[in-house]
Amino acid sequence: MSFAGMNYLAILVAAIVAFVIGAVYYSTLSKQWMKAARIDPSGPKPVMVGLLVNSFVMELILAFVTAGVIGHLGFDQVTPVNGVISGLFIWAGFIFTTLSINQRYQGFGWDLTLIDGLHWLLVMIGIGLTIGLFGV
User: For 14-41, how does the pLDDT look when each residue is reduced to its tens digit (9 = 90+)?
Assistant: 999 999 999 999 999 999 999 999 999 8
Question: Does the model's pTM come out above 0.85?
Answer: yes
Domain boundaries, the chain: 2-134
The three-state (H, E, C) secondary structure of the chain, written as one string: CEECCEEHHHHHHHHHHHHHHHHHHHHHCHHHHHHHCCCCCCCCCCCHHHHHHHHHHHHHHHHHHHHHHHHCCCHHHCCHHHHHHHHHHHHHHHHHHHHHHHHHHCCCCHHHHHHHHHHHHHHHHHHHHHHHHHCC
What are the pLDDT digits (tens) for 102-115?
Answer: 999 999 999 999 99
